[in-house]
Amino acid sequence: MTAVDLTRTREEEDFRRRLRDWLHRTLPTLPPKPSPADWPARRAYDCAWQRALYDAGYAGLHWPADAGGQGATPTQHLIFLEETELAGAPYVGANFVGLLHAGPTIAVEGTATQRARWLPPILRGEEVWCQGFSEPEAGSDLASLRTRAVRDGDAYVVTGSKTWTSHAEVADWCELLVRTDLSAPGHRGLSWLAMRMDAPGVTVRPLRTLAGSTEFAEVFLDEVRVPVAQRVGAENDGWRVTMVTLSFERGTAFAGEVVACRRTLALLARAAQENGQWEDAALRRRLGRLNAEFTALWRLAQWNASEAAHALRTGGRGVPGVGASVFKLRYSHARQDLYDAAAEALGPLSLDAGHEWTLERLSSLSYTIAAGTSQIQQNIIAERILGLPRGR
Amino acid sequence: MTAVDLTRTREEEDFRRRLRDWLHRTLPTLPPKPSPADWPARRAYDCAWQRALYDAGYAGLHWPADAGGQGATPTQHLIFLEETELAGAPYVGANFVGLLHAGPTIAVEGTATQRARWLPPILRGEEVWCQGFSEPEAGSDLASLRTRAVRDGDAYVVTGSKTWTSHAEVADWCELLVRTDLSAPGHRGLSWLAMRMDAPGVTVRPLRTLAGSTEFAEVFLDEVRVPVAQRVGAENDGWRVTMVTLSFERGTAFAGEVVACRRTLALLARAAQENGQWEDAALRRRLGRLNAEFTALWRLAQWNASEAAHALRTGGRGVPGVGASVFKLRYSHARQDLYDAAAEALGPLSLDAGHEWTLERLSSLSYTIAAGTSQIQQNIIAERILGLPRGR
Amino acid sequence: MDFRLSEDQRALRAGMRDLLAARFPREKLRKSAEADPAKRAPLDRALWRELGEIGMFSLRLSEKEGGAGLGLPEAVLVFEEAGRALLPGPLAATHLAAGLVPGAADGATVVTALEGDGVVEQLDAADAVLLLEGPTVRALPVDDGTGALAAARPLRSVDPTTPLHYLPPADEAMQGAERAGQAKGLAVGRLCGEAALLTAAQQLGSAARTLEMAVAYVKVRTQFARPIGAFQAVQHVCARMLARTEIARSSVYAASLTMTLGDTCAAKLLADEAAVRNARDCLQLHGGLGFTWDADVHLHLKRAWVRQAQWQSAAKAEEALAAALLEDPGDCMTETANRANGAV
Amino acid sequence: MDFRLSEDQRALRAGMRDLLAARFPREKLRKSAEADPAKRAPLDRALWRELGEIGMFSLRLSEKEGGAGLGLPEAVLVFEEAGRALLPGPLAATHLAAGLVPGAADGATVVTALEGDGVVEQLDAADAVLLLEGPTVRALPVDDGTGALAAARPLRSVDPTTPLHYLPPADEAMQGAERAGQAKGLAVGRLCGEAALLTAAQQLGSAARTLEMAVAYVKVRTQFARPIGAFQAVQHVCARMLARTEIARSSVYAASLTMTLGDTCAAKLLADEAAVRNARDCLQLHGGLGFTWDADVHLHLKRAWVRQAQWQSAAKAEEALAAALLEDPGDCMTETANRANGAV
């Protein structure tokens, strides 16, 4: 009988060892981290790291080989996330959308020409992408978006506005969801376009978050011409294309962060031991419970990876399933709980925004909102997984 | 400037002193408590206690004087609940529906003849009432009830079934909500009847609860004749009449229990001190938080009583407002939390159903369901207090 | 690394489910949960032997010892099914006793256990009691003539399908069993961890079952002219039940492979929470019906309370997981290679 | 017993609300919360004097002392309004200092306080610091020449409208102030309780305000072709926000009358919870908008965190409430007659 197996194969062990060696050699050679407020410097730093990964053969690890990726197993991808996190390597940063949303979408849905044009620069860290989905009046109800694209010869003329766009100031491309059929309601009549951010008519206005940083921007589109050749998928089929992208976002994107959270939790325990709060059984048990939660979330990520690997082996394209909603729902709350617990452990110093954990506490507040609110995740679980009647 | 004032008046202090003296003299003379499973004995015990209250001038304390009550202020009513609880006096028991639902409803909505017929026996502990509102298919959605009453001369012929009826086996009367206009949908077309439980066609079948006791019963009605003279309020106006009753149920009914819970909490702390669990800061802090909750709930009951007193002074009839939903919502959960905490404090002995607190833990599970589920309470708060658009 | 179940494992689980459906249908559960304690069915020894025959207790013994040479992952699947059906009895204790106590492996003997908290399950039905304190594992015949268990007094068990006895921890009679003050031996520690995990597996099965019951009910129960499952508040309760179940499931399955302290403690903690809270949510969603004896939901809740108190309490699990944070430089996610197939 | 507000009390509250609407409108709040710390408005001394003129600090002093002879119930109403408007500054400390520190009563002086945890609010803007440890209350001029406060280092305060300094508890320089190891005197204990209550009143005002903001927003924000306030999940979040607010309100108002330990601890605990959790719920209901600097909701959350840490932490309140359970035979519901009008 073949057992359920957490034993890594020899290939996987070799992969981990090579990666660990490479990280050990490479990380000391990286330049110092740029200031969080200096977006061009952040872009340069993130792209340099991506280039280093590319040169070492780690770029697009989980992308299929025919898209320029390494065709690694989902397990290898998890090992990559784990090892880079444990080694303190840079995050994906400005390349998040390219590597985790737009790139995989183009890999699955794009034409050969589109794949050849867009995928290599993403993998080499040469072009940065941002996301143009949400609008001020279309958040949870993404399908109600109003940005319209009117066909004019071999181009669409796009007018409207997008919001919550990360890295907009330094991006080269935007994955843009627009309405191409004004007469079709809701999710019908949408198309997925790749738009150059330097096209005439594109204006970016940074949005300041409650943490004081400018993580997001509004993007205003005033008769921006986007060649029809830059549409991915069929006209008016953008909703389906987008769902592929969103299920990527809700699947693997946070797995590395779970490792980081578990690490923070251990540091937190040390800090509590040093400042005496460890004597408080209520705090200690709270941290113990968080340890269980993050341990289990990591196991769930491994489980999801096994499922994805199975889908790959049996002919699927490795698109994460709706079960990713469970991961997203629990992880978002666990992260917020972690930094609330950090505040308790820090005591009065939790009021110091100069402390990394206080800033993380603030930024964690977006986790139950961004990429599908917790309310939306629960709707998805109830209706798509459990098959409950459509909520009204 | 007149201050917000928790100082009791001289009248209130005198009232408390007299009541305390009376309880001190009277309680030792009561017979031993009957076995929980012996319903006739429980009825006799509860009615004897009610008769003692009547003889001492405490029956129907919060009822208006013109209904045979004592016309006491809401504050005096709270003092009564507090002092009887602290003295370990019997609960209202079998007279719950008569004194807290049906009686007050008849007092407000009944004719002079109806008041004269039904109210004195309730106050003297001579007649016991039960409630026939819910049906198997009409719980939260009470207005969808199907039990029908067809006019036949000077009587209604009632057919249908009711459920979750407490004390049905020993009750003399049932406050019954029926559909008198079959063509009217929902809450229109309902009427409020007083039905004799010994009328031909009434069958009672006890329902066993998860605690193993038979607190409730199903009541089957097969062409039961109920004289039209036993209708309270106009025909087809039963919904409004019922809402009066339900707002009583959700208002004052639980205030005395808050005192009892606070007392249990103190006993729980002692028990934890004796078995060593008090050393666990997590349990200690949990009990401290529950202390805050019950203290605040008692203050909220006082607040609600002040509001009701004001309504009385300014011409209202002292019907509790929708704010009672806040009390019900928080109290139900606090009671469940209390007995969960008791289980933690008891350790392995929490698995002993011979322990009073374990039985209370089981029975507390009905609190978020009975008399309006927590979901319904939150709907009421959202729509009626906060004015949010009707949920769909 | 492959976390998915193999075909053989799926077959094992389906076999167990079929056996329980045939030999422990709902009527049997209800019979053992009669409201009148005098009418309750005692532990079904014939069924116990059948469980023994299909290898419920022996499956991790080697084929030479009469077992199937399987591992904890398979045991967990079988125990999950037992939890789903609320199969009564000291299943984990008898499973641990296979190979230690004669007759345990084939279901001829019923073996229960005495834990630190002093609660013993099914003492009247059992032939022997495992003692898991002190440096070594010992088994005591229930009627050993020494009167060691004479001080055990029956509790009116909150779970009608699980009779319980209580032995006060300070009892003199048990001093010979070296209960107090001794460090657990390695074997004892390992067995306690396995028992906690097998108990967690039962909790997982129960949590999955109450979720199913809730979903089925809210699809058909109509109020306000539509199924209550169309109300968002109800939907979200069900969604959180599913999330609890799936988090517990990955945790339990992972622990069956790694058997690390962290995974095992997390598995017990999260499976306990899933079983208790799902049962409570299921009860709430059933409304008044859920509060009746005749509905099964209370049996899940009560069993979940009993299992929660067995082998590892939440307080102990949380303290162990907290202590692990201090010992561990942060890379506990990197599991050590699991013992091949986890066979004992 | 009458728990309702009198006409005069309603008038006092309305007067405070009007004053704040006129003199501390939203633009002023936003000016003190500029994202760029260098551009933030400092504490508004002119407004402080106006607060002094209307009696915010002196209202509990006798008329002979230049006060209004009012009590804690009235002070609580005024502080609730301050919390609602997120009025910055060491309001509770200056209120306590009225009659103790010259100029505090009429708003000529800004008095802050150093508590056990070592955090001081608005130290740069303040003229004096109350020391509330040890047997007696002391006030220290900020620039007293002894350098007692020299070790205080500015924090990058999480709340942009509340500058904070931190003085490590073990600091040698403060030994003269007898901070550590001494029992609190009666007067100090009473003042700390009053400060906790006045802080709770501010939290209550903030909780009520974020509830209002949430309700207003969900009525107009449309998704899926209807106001999001028509979704049951959203409705229930709002309902729980209201329940939190009203529980905190009865608790705060009752404590202002009785000033018993139990009522005061409950008031601080429940008002802290209402302020923090309502702000978080309000933020969640605002979606992405709630995460922006330009929305006010983060200012409520951050202020609620600061006030939560001031005067009495949740851990301390819970421990005090737990200890009270052991001392008290169970009749703590029977309040002792309140001190008439609670005047100091």
Average pLDDT over residues A314-337: 81
**Is residue A368 situated within a structural domain?**
yes
Search chain A and give the residue with CA nearest B390: A392
* Contact call for D322 and B285, based on CB within 8 A: yes
Search chain B and give the residue with CA nearest D238: B382
Residue D9 distance to chain C (closest CA, Å): 40
* Contact call for B351 and C164, based on CB within 8 A: yes
Q: Is D124 helix (H, G, I), strand (E, B) or coil?
A: coil
User: Is the distance from CB of B42 to CB of B50 less than 8 angstroms?
Assistant: no
Range of the domain at D207: 188-338
Residues A36, A142, single domain; the answer is no
Whose tokens are 């508004």? That residue is: D44
Residues C212, C325, single domain; the answer is yes
Q: What is the pLDDT of residue A252?
A: 64
**Is residue D221 situated within a structural domain?**
yes
Q: Closest by alpha carbon to A138, among D170, D228, B24, B376?
A: D228
Q: What is the pLDDT of residue C134?
A: 73
User: Which chains does D contact via 3+ CB–CB distances below 8 A?
Assistant: A, B, C
Task: State the Cα torsion A221-A225-A231-A237 to the nearest 10°.
Answer: 60
Q: pLDDT band at D21, cuts 50/70/90?
A: very high
Task: State the Cα torsion B274-B275-B277-B279 to the nearest 10°.
Answer: 50
Cα-based distances in Å from C174 to A384, C192, C310, D109, D116: 55, 19, 19, 72, 50
Whose tokens are 């304390």? That residue is: B61
Q: Which residues contact C60 (CB under 8 A, 6 or more apart)?
A: C67, C68, C69, C70, C71, C72, C74, C75, C95, C98, C342, C343, C344
Q: Cα–Cα distance between A177 and A236 in angstroms, integer?
A: 10
DSSP B229-259: GGEESSTTBHHHHHHHHHHHHTTGGGHHHHH
Of C147-151, D3-7, D223-227, which has the strongest mean pLDDT?
D223-227
DSSP C284-306: HHTGGGGGBSSSSHHHHHHHHHH
Residues D11, D103, single domain; the answer is yes
- Ranking B74-88, B132-146, B225-239, C301-315 by mean pLDDT, the lowest is B74-88
**Is residue A99 situated within a structural domain?**
no
Range of the domain at B319: 250-385
**Is residue D267 situated within a structural domain?**
yes
Residues A362, A260, single domain; the answer is yes
- Ranking A245-254, B297-306, D100-109 by mean pLDDT, the lowest is A245-254
Q: Which residues contact B96 (CB under 8 A, 6 or more apart)?
A: B166, B167, B253
Residues D166, D193, single domain; the answer is no
> Where on the phi/psi map is residue C202: left (φ > 0), alpha (ψ -120 to 50), or beta?
alpha
Average pLDDT over residues A301-321: 71
**Is residue D343 situated within a structural domain?**
no
Instruction: Give percent helix, percent strand, percent coil of chain B, each to the nearest 5.
Output: 55, 15, 30
Q: What is the pLDDT of residue C137?
A: 82
Q: pLDDT band at D179, cuts 50/70/90?
A: very low
Quick: pLDDT tens for B189-230.
999 999 999 999 999 999 999 999 888 999 999 999 999 999
Residues A309, A227, single domain; the answer is no
Q: Closest by alpha carbon to C252, among C241, C263, C240?
A: C263
Quick: pLDDT tens for B274-333.
999 999 999 999 999 999 999 999 999 888 877 777 776 776 655 556 678 899 999 999
Give the residue ranges of chain C where pLDDT is below 70: 1-3, 144-147, 170-186, 328-344
Of A10-19, D77-86, D141-150, which has the strongest mean pLDDT?
D77-86
Quick: pLDDT tens for A75-84.
888 889 889 9
Residues D22, D109, single domain; the answer is yes
For residue C236, the chain D residues in CB contact (below 8 A) are 233
**Is residue A309 situated within a structural domain?**
yes
* Six token digits for residue C7: 């075909």
Q: Which residues contact C4 (CB under 8 A, 6 or more apart)?
A: A4, A303, A306, A307, A310
Q: What is the pLDDT of residue A392?
A: 59
Residue D50 burial (CB count, 10 A): 16
**Is residue A202 situated within a structural domain?**
yes
Q: Is A114 exposed, middle or buried (0-12, 13-18, 19+ CB in 10 A)?
A: middle
For residue B350, the chain C residues in CB contact (below 8 A) are 158, 305, 309
* Contact call for D224 and A280, based on CB within 8 A: no
Interface check D59 vs A, CB under 8 A: no
* Contact call for D236 and C231, based on CB within 8 A: no
Q: pLDDT band at A355, cuts 50/70/90?
A: very high
Residue C209 distance to chain D (closest CA, Å): 25
- Please say which residue of D114, D143, D174 terminates a domain: D174
Query: Residues A269-274: contacts with CB within 8 Å, 24+ apart?
Result: A269/C322, A269/C325, A269/C326, A270/C326, A271/A345, A271/A346, A272/A345, A273/C326
- Please say which residue of C152, C174, C196 terminates a domain: C174
Q: What CATH number did the domain enclosing B307 receive?
A: 1.20.140.10
Interface check B226 vs D, CB under 8 A: no
Interface check D218 vs B, CB under 8 A: yes
Q: Cα–Cα distance between D177 and D171 in angstroms, integer?
A: 11
Annotated active-site residue B249? The verdict is yes
Q: What is the pLDDT of residue D143?
A: 77
Q: Does the pLDDT of residue A110 top 90, yes or no?
A: yes
Residues B257, B226, single domain; the answer is no
Q: Does the pLDDT of residue A9 top 90, yes or no?
A: no
Q: Does the pLDDT of residue A315 top 90, yes or no?
A: no
Q: Checking DSSP bridges between strand A155-166 and strand A148-152, what pairing results, if any?
A: antiparallel
Pick the catalytic residue: B249, B293, B356, B383?
Answer: B249
**Is residue A3 situated within a structural domain?**
no
Domain count, chain A: 3
User: Is the distance from CB of D1 to CB of B306 less than 8 angstroms?
Assistant: yes
Q: Is B378 helix (H, G, I), strand (E, B) or coil?
A: helix
- Please say which residue of B185, B202, B236 terminates a domain: B236
Q: Cα–Cα distance between C190 and C192 in angstroms, integer?
A: 5
| Minimal Cβ distance to D73: which of B3, B270, B299 | B3
For residue D301, the chain A residues in CB contact (below 8 A) are 210, 365
Residues A44, A170, single domain; the answer is no
**Is residue B114 situated within a structural domain?**
no
**Is residue B15 situated within a structural domain?**
yes
Search chain D and give the residue with CA nearest C236: D233
Q: Checking DSSP bridges between strand A231-232 and strand A190-196, what pairing results, if any?
A: antiparallel
**Is residue A154 situated within a structural domain?**
yes
* Six token digits for residue C308: 């929660």
CA angle A311-A313-A316, nearest 5°?
40
Residues A155, A224, single domain; the answer is yes
For residue D239, the chain C residues in CB contact (below 8 A) are none
DSSP C138-165: EEEETT-SS-TTTT-EE--BSSTTS-EE
Instruction: Name the β-bridge partners of A159.
Output: A148
Residues A218, A168, single domain; the answer is yes
Domain count, chain D: 2
Instruction: Name the β-bridge partners of D153.
Output: D166
Whose tokens are 């840490």? That residue is: D309
Residue C160 distance to chain B (closest CA, Å): 10
Q: Cα–Cα distance between C302 and C281 in angstroms, integer?
A: 14
Residues 163-192, chain A, touching D (beta carbon < 8 A): 163-164
| Minimal Cβ distance to A369: which of D291, D293, D295 | D291
Interface check B287 vs D, CB under 8 A: yes
Tally the residues of chain D: 344
User: Is the distance from CB of B244 to CB of B319 less than 8 angstroms?
Assistant: yes
Report the sign of the C-alpha dihedral through residues A337, A339, A344, A345, in that order.
positive
Instruction: Name the β-bridge partners of A155.
Output: A152, A227
Q: Cα–Cα distance between B100 and B248 in angstroms, integer?
A: 7
Search chain B and give the residue with CA nearest D7: B2
Residues C96, C64, single domain; the answer is yes
Q: Cα–Cα distance between C250 and C201 in angstroms, integer?
A: 11
Residues D97, D131, single domain; the answer is yes
Quick: pLDDT tens for C227-261.
999 999 999 999 999 999 999 999 999 999 999 99
- Please say which residue of D144, D174, D204 terminates a domain: D174
Largest Cα–Cα distance of chain C, in whole Å?
A: 66
Residues A275, A358, single domain; the answer is yes
Residues C100, C210, single domain; the answer is no
Quick: pLDDT tens for B246-260.
665 555 667 889 999
* Contact call for A299 and C251, based on CB within 8 A: yes
* Contact call for C326 and A302, based on CB within 8 A: no
Q: What CATH number did the domain enclosing C97 receive?
A: 1.10.540.10
Interface check B281 vs A, CB under 8 A: yes
User: Is the distance from CB of C112 to CB of C120 less than 8 angstroms?
Assistant: yes
| Minimal Cβ distance to C166: which of B137, B138, B349 | B349
For residue B288, the chain A residues in CB contact (below 8 A) are none
Residues of D with CB under 8 A from a CB of C: 231-233, 236
User: Is the distance from CB of A15 to CB of A75 less than 8 angstroms?
Assistant: no
Residues A299, A374, single domain; the answer is yes
Residues C146, C236, single domain; the answer is no
User: Is the distance from CB of D214 to CB of B385 less than 8 angstroms?
Assistant: no
Q: What CATH number did the domain enclosing D281 receive?
A: 1.20.140.10
Interface check D223 vs A, CB under 8 A: yes
pTM for the structure as a whole: 0.94
* Six token digits for residue A143: 């399908």
User: Which chains does B contact via 3+ CB–CB distances below 8 A?
Assistant: A, C, D
> What are the backbone angles phi and psi of residue D52, rounded to the nearest 5°?
-60, -40
Residues B41, B74, single domain; the answer is yes
* Contact call for B375 and C231, based on CB within 8 A: yes
Largest Cα–Cα distance of chain A, in whole Å?
A: 72
